[in-house]
Chains A and B, each alone.
Chain A
Amino acid sequence: MSPVARYRVVFYLVFYRSIVSMTKMYLDQVQFKASGRSFIQRSLFSMALLLVSLLVGTTSCDEKKVIPVVEPVVDDGTGNENPGGENPDMDNDGDDGEPVVVEDPVDTAVYPVMLADADAQWHWVDVPGAQCGLQPTDGS
């Protein structure tokens, strides 16, 4: 399970528990039913649960900012489907008999720097394949 999904599960469980608790507290008050805990105790417990749920929810939102969102891919026969596809090739190694799809290395290499192009400042860009003259002699 990815970190994002894990956070979402925790968030929903805690949030659900706090809602149930608050609902129960409300019904207790309305129906004047007796309970083993005081009103203040139950209120503090419910508020604590709500606070925890909000904290977890905020953390999970922060995580989502740095983790790229993977959109579901429909099985198009390219061999690059997501695990939920009809004919999954989870590691994209071609073992499903379909061609392996390789992303364009140029596009992925330049994308982060292109965002800074318009600031009229100098940026260095590594150019895949471009080589200086003296090559390593260690056999690598």
Chain B
Amino acid sequence: MVVSGNATGMGVNLNANSDVLMVYFEQGGACWDGQSCGTAPGASAAGISAVFLDGFGENEFNAMVDLGAETGVGATPVPALLRPDDADLAEEINPFFGAQRIYFPYCTGDVFAGAQQAVNPDTGILHAGESNVELYIDQLITRYKNSEIPVPKQVFLVGVSAGGYGALFNAEKFSAAFDQAFPESAPIEVHVMSDGGLIAEHNTDLNNTLVSSREAAFKSAWGVAIPEGCIEGEPCSSLFGIARDILDRLALRGNATYAVMSFEADQTIAGFLNYLSFDEDGNVTGVDTATLACNRHNTLAKLDQDYDIFYYFSVPETGHIMIEYANLPWVQAAIGEMDAEQTLLGLMGISGPPVTYPLDASGMVDASQEITMRQWMADYIAGTRISASDTAYANVAACTQ
């Protein structure tokens, strides 16, 4: 029986004049044991690696979309994709301006992949992120059935960091529920856009054991199911294997796509996936972004080769997410001196120093063509889908050994 003591919900902003739906899966780290969840005896607050475990409700949501809180130098703006349509700069910075929008909060520490029905005694947390998504979907379908809001013809599942994983892991569930509820619209067109939710293959590197053990901890803590017919320990049981299984089924739909937005050197994901670097004595010295970058490069290339439905926007710099906050390097350097408007425009590469990246067409980099992230997203939504690449990565040879 599901415990009941820390209720949450979702944000709703359904424009009756649109038949495009954007579902936003929120970010917020993850936790997989008593230390990272902060529930172990003596666990320090600094060691907690997931947010809002103790609750996310109306007050937290209203504070996040509060336009009054984004005034002044260095103020945190309302996330671009959540910006109300009648707010200043909404049309300039939000590629989903005018669309129907839904916000899925994240407060379960499980990248929306947990299907636990009770508190996990090892983590002290109810990892019910996937179960919550099922309830959100049911609620959403009920709303469409009981209102004049048009049932969407296109759905974009957009996730940031942990939400980027969640958008992919729940894509088929979302599609199936809508197909069943609205058979006249089936199969519904679904596009997954994952910002910073990098899933990299890892079977040749020194970190393989470390990463595998971390993934095993994820699956155990959250109750993640491996693909049917797959044996635990085989490559198909890794996060990459699970992702491929989902991609296989999305590809069969004929009208689904999967896009990854990713930085070349992602320290956050390196730490999350347990990519560690060591000194000569075997002591941990930090996170190993170089190995992750190799795996990332090979993974993007492999998915690009195997799936026509796969696209990416890849940035050859250090960073984690692009959509929501000031992770772009030039923004990060100047954020303390910029007002909210400059920050908002800078986040989407609209003003300030150029934030443009070469296009990758069939593996050939054409440096004469460049595109901003905002334009790339807008084109993607409109149906012109391309990959923007960092295939000039300096250590490609070392990655392909």
Contacts and interface: CB of A to CB of B under 8 A. Distances in A.
A111 B3 contact: no
A124 B126 contact: no
Given A129-B2, A132-B108, A122 B9 contact: no
Contacts of B234: none
Contacts of B56: 132
A35 interface: no
Contacts of A129: 2, 4, 135
Given A121-B84, A140-B5, A127 B16 contact: no
Contacts of A122: 11-13, 61, 65, 82, 84, 103
Contacts of B119: 135
Given A110-B143, A110-B146, A135 B136 contact: no
B57 interface: yes
A132 B52 contact: yes
B387 interface: no
B11 A120 contact: no
A125 to B, nearest CB: 5
Given A110-B143, A117-B149, A122-B65, A132 B6 contact: yes
Contacts of A110: 139, 142-143, 146
B259 interface: no
A118 B132 contact: no
A125 B13 CA distance: 10
B139 A125 contact: yes
Nearest to A104: B142
B340 interface: no
A125 B126 contact: no
A130 B14 contact: no
A127 B125 contact: no
Contacts, number: 137
Nearest to A136: B5
Contacts of A120: 13-17, 84-86
Contacts of A107: 142, 146
A136 B126 CA distance: 11
B46 interface: no
Interface string B50-66: 10111111100110010
A128 B62 CA distance: 19
Interface in B1-49: 2-17, 37, 39
A114 B82 CA distance: 19
B362 interface: no
A124 B149 contact: no
Interface string B158-186: 00000000000000000000000000000
A123 B2 contact: no
A134 interface: yes
21 contacts: A107-B146, A114-B147, A118-B14, A120-B13, A121-B86, A123-B13, A124-B10, A125-B139, A127-B7, A127-B8, A131-B4, A132-B6, A132-B54, A132-B56, A133-B53, A133-B125, A133-B127, A134-B39, A134-B53, A134-B124, A134-B125
Interface of A: 106-107, 110-111, 113-114, 117-118, 120-136, 140
Given A120-B84, A131-B2, A136-B6, 18 more contacts: A114-B143, A114-B146, A118-B148, A120-B14, A122-B61, A124-B57, A124-B62, A128-B7, A128-B135, A130-B7, A130-B136, A131-B128, A131-B132, A132-B6, A132-B53, A132-B108, A133-B128, A134-B53
